[in-house]
Amino acid sequence: MKRAFSLFADPMIAVLVIATMLAVILPAMGEARYHMQTVSNAAIFALFLVNGMRIARGEIAKGLANWRFFGPLMLFVFAIMPAGGLGMSLVAQGSLAPMVALGFVFLGTLPSTIQSATSYTTLAGGNVALSVVGAALINIAGVFVTAPLFALLAGTEAVTIGADTIVRIGLILILPFVIGQIVQGWAREWVIERKARIVWLDRIVIGIAVYVAFSGAVEQGLIAMFTGVDWAILIGLCFAFLAAGSLAAWGIASALGFVRSDRIAFLFAGPQKSVAIGAPLAAILFAPEIAGFVIAPLLIYHLMQLVIAAPLASWLAQQQH
């Protein structure tokens, strides 16, 4: 019982599981899915508006000045991890549905998660300031970089970012973030004071996006398509990607001569991937009947990193004593 409870210690795990199960049992189809997609877009707008309010402009400027740490971190997140995702996609092509295999490319191009990266860096005794600023910078860059990078790696046959897609990204992701940055001087303190409640905004928005995406996939036969062997292959590939990314992050940080606390920050800000960016972006880039397949590797990877990160952080903290 104690072990089972620990798996759901992070509420995000429960949110992802509930959203996925709800899509399997009671998927939104037809007109209902159209309305849910509208709700999802509005929720995503609100989430990125709040993100713009809470990420301090001073943190961004501070991060840009520390190029020795953040330069390699950006290259790791947006070059090494995408290359790894492309490699995993090629491995998966013979075993999994094409759009699920493509999901590894999408997974690789995503930025890292802010909350988990900072939480586990703190638990492990790492440099929290670097982690906070690094994750913030990566997420801001991800809003602009992930979509075109994914299109470049995936090829025009898989995804085309036309004018309508660019407009949707601009209106739903970039515009609210810019507005949030503009009003930050008046709104940031209000947002920080309500941090505990706003964390639930993140979770609810992600849950809605995942529900809509998986509803489309269920309608297209995701359950019938995926056998037990397919799930085992997907989980195994996600674990291999997470393990390889984590080892690479630690090795690169060590090779660059970072002190232990900075290596820990690099470890948790590098290979961890953000469903908070991934699920909303997938809802914009892909039709609902495709999005559920593409984000399947992201959901497994994200759940896995949440489950593994806590004991890893605890072990790293114990090694310092």
Dihedral angle of Cα 106, 112, 114, 118, to the nearest 10 degrees: 150
Q: Do the domain assignments include residue 251?
A: yes
Determine the pLDDT at residue 4: 43
The set of residues, in sequence order, having a beta carbon less than 8 Å from that of 300 and lying 6+ positions away, is: 234, 235, 238
The DSSP code sequence of 68-120 is: HHHHHHHHIIIIIHHHHHHHHHHHHTTTS-HHHHHHHHHHHHSPPPHHHHHHH
In this structure, is residue 320 part of a structural domain? no
Q: Is residue 20 part of a domain?
A: no
Q: Which CATH number do you get for residue 95?
A: 1.20.1530.20
Q: What pTM value is reported for the model?
A: 0.79
3-state SS string for 39-58: HHHHHHHHHHHHHHHHCCHH
Structural domain contains residue 173: yes
**What pLDDT does 163 receive?**
62
Q: Is the residue at 203 inside a domain? A: yes
The confidence score (pLDDT) of residue 38 equals 86
Number of domains in the chain: 1
In a domain, 205, yes or no: yes
Residue 34 lies in a domain: yes
For each of the chain's 321 residues, which pLDDT tens digit applies?
Answer: 344 444 555 677 788 788 888 988 888 887 887 788 888 888 878 877 887 787 677 666 665 677 888 899 999 999 999 999 999 999 999 888 888 999 999 999 998 876 667 778 877 888 877 777 777 778 778 878 888 899 888 875 556 566 666 677 777 777 888 888 888 888 878 887 877 777 777 778 878 888 887 787 777 777 777 788 888 999 999 999 999 999 999 999 999 999 998 899 899 888 988 777 888 888 788 877 788 888 889 988 988 887 788 788 888 888 765
Rounded CA-CA distance 28/218 in Å is 9
| SS3 (DSSP) at 66 | coil
- Range list of β-strands (E), the chain: none
Give Cβ neighbours of residue 127 (< 8 Å, ≥ 6 apart): 121, 261, 262, 264, 265
pLDDT confidence of residue 213: 78
Q: Containing domain of residue 115, as a range?
A: 30-314
In a domain, 201, yes or no: yes
In the prediction, which pLDDT does 160 show? 58
